[in-house]
Chain A
Amino acid sequence: MKELICIVCPRGCHLRVDEEKDYLVTGNSCPRGAEYGKNELLHPVRVLTSTVRLEGAAVRRCPVKTRQPIARELMLRAAKALDAVTVTAPVRCGDVVLSDLLGTGIDVVATKDFPKTER
């Protein structure tokens, strides 16, 4: 039996996961908690949020996220991979700034709009 704090939402449910019973989760308030409890013991995943270089806008960095969660152990490598990315305004929230991050098949997308700005 493992005790976990669910991170799916800010509620932070105190989960108990029973490895003996096919990762049965108790203490969760929603189905996503059950899924999280099981995943967290088998192959934990996280959404990566970061920034990439931005040109032609009023600021120099564009916030981004992975469209889906990636394997937790990839977080540092994935953040590093974003160092090579530069986007140019205009950028729309949801635009793909890097596709197939580290061969995961998961895209990195912009999370904010940036109109083109003359400076």
Chain B
Amino acid sequence: MDYELIVIGGGPAGLAAAYAAWAKGLRRVLILERDRELGGILNQCIHNGFGLHRFKEELTGPEYAGRYIEMLKATGVEAKTDTMVLRITQDKCVSFLNPVDGYRTVRAEAVILAMGCRERTRGAISIPGARCSGIFTAGTAQRFLNIEGYLVGKRVVILGSGDIGLIMARRMTLEGAKVLACVELMPYSGGLNRNIVQCLRDYDIPLYLSHTVTDIVGKQRLERITISAVDADRRPIPGTELSFDCDTLLLSVGLVPENELSRQMDVEMDRRTNGPVVYENMETGVEGVFACGNVVHVHDLVDFVSEESSRAGEAAARYILEGETAKEPLLTVENGSAVSYTVPQRIRPAGVDKNVKLFFRVNRVFGKAVIRVRSGETQIACFKREHMAPGEMESVILPKALLPQGGVLTVSAEEVEA
């Protein structure tokens, strides 16, 4: 065996997982990272707001990544950058490619999938119009701006109110661009409330809710876009068109977990998250293969990515040092009313230490609400919330004592009568 553990991806998830595995006693750990440096997307997220949970202080993306990179430097974890993993087999042979080693295959006792996610593109939402230059995903524009030092445009419209789009609205404004509008298909924002305040309102950038881009005009470079209001079924309403003369359209229309490797190795997937189905310890359906971070479900906060990934790293260490978790009994977790997914999807009560944390998202905006966790018809736990929105990931903690020995758990969100 070449390694005890191979971690696929050196972004926040991979870094936290590798560190935790080392801390739990593994000594032959390898991180494979496709970019030129560790840290993943944090390197281009130069804004602050990271780390309040994990480090109890407010850090920028590079600072947050830097903390983990420093922590790892003190360990013997090996990392290969500029390295693309091309194939993983169920018996944990990992084939990769880089300029130094060439094409190589190494084998490990356990693998952690931490490949992160990618941005949805224009194609994914089939925006009609011309295919001129000047249309970018927000993250690509962010990389150009923050890492390469180039501005992609001067008059900008942003489609989608995801956090990267909101952050870029402020960032481009500060670099001298004019951001004309942020346009959101849904009746609510997809990003964090704080970003609506400090990225749009601070700079008087209008937010058009329930609107979408219905035409793109431009011979070579983008010249004009048209937006329209949409009805309850999200169809454009004729007669509501509004045009903007602009040279740039940024798309912040969602993230997709990057699971091509997972699919290729036949890891069982969840259609709700587009990520692997995971157990309470972040193990996938393939024994000894774990997954964490945005490859499992798209997070809003890196702090929770680190937390989840630490659990994956610890679980991988336990798997290698102590053997596998008993497969029975097994609980499956399913959507109740107004919930769009849950992670983990499966719980083995035997594998739960003191409690299990369930992550989920609601599918609409809530004011005062309760979250109910039921085992069959019986409510086993209930949690109050002042406010919930699809753009904000929710979590509840279930003590081990409350877990039934099998069956189905449902998580639902319900309005509380005022």
Contact = CB atoms under 8 A, between A and B. Distances in A.
Verify whether A and B have any Cβ pair under 8 Å.
yes
Interface of A: 4-10, 12, 14, 27, 46-51, 53, 58-61, 63-65, 72, 75-76, 79, 93, 111-113
B218 interface: no
A51 B146 contact: yes
A70 to B, nearest CB: 12
Given A10-B194, A61-B149, A49 B48 contact: yes
7 contacts: A5-B196, A9-B52, A10-B194, A10-B301, A51-B149, A112-B62, A112-B63
Interface of B: 36, 43, 46-49, 52, 58-63, 66, 146-149, 173-175, 192-194, 196-198, 202, 300-301, 386-387, 392
A58 B82 CA distance: 14
B63 A111 contact: yes
B62 A93 contact: yes
A21 to B, nearest CB: 21
B270 to A, nearest CB: 25
Given A10-B300, A61-B148, 10 more contacts: A7-B194, A10-B192, A12-B194, A12-B392, A14-B387, A49-B47, A75-B174, A79-B175, A112-B62, A112-B63
A10 B60 contact: no
Contacts of B36: 58
Contacts of B146: 51, 61, 63
A48 to B, nearest CB: 8
A50 B202 contact: no
B62 A111 contact: yes
A51 B46 contact: yes
Given A12-B192, A58-B36, A61-B146, A113 B66 contact: yes
Contacts of A14: 386-387
Contact of B202 (A58, A72, A79): A72
Contact of B193 (A12, A47, A58, A63): A12
A50 B193 contact: no
B174 A79 contact: yes
Nearest to B196: A5
A48 B175 CA distance: 12
Contacts of A49: 46-48, 60
Contacts of A5: 193-194, 196-197
Nearest to A58: B36
B202 A65 contact: no
A59 B148 contact: yes
Contacts of B194: 5-10, 12
B198 A59 contact: no
A46 B58 CA distance: 12
A65 B386 CA distance: 33
Given A46-B202, A50-B46, A60-B149, A7 B197 contact: yes
B58 to A, nearest CB: 8
B392 A93 contact: no
Contacts of A53: 149
A46 B34 CA distance: 34
B202 A63 contact: no
A10 B47 contact: no
A16 B301 CA distance: 25
Contacts of B59: 111
Contacts of B62: 63, 93, 111-112
Nearest to A7: B194
A7 B201 CA distance: 12
Contacts of B46: 49-51, 63-65, 111
Contact of A59 (B60, B147, B392): B147
Contacts of A93: 62-63, 66
Contacts of B192: 10, 12
Contacts of A51: 46, 146, 149
A92 B47 CA distance: 18
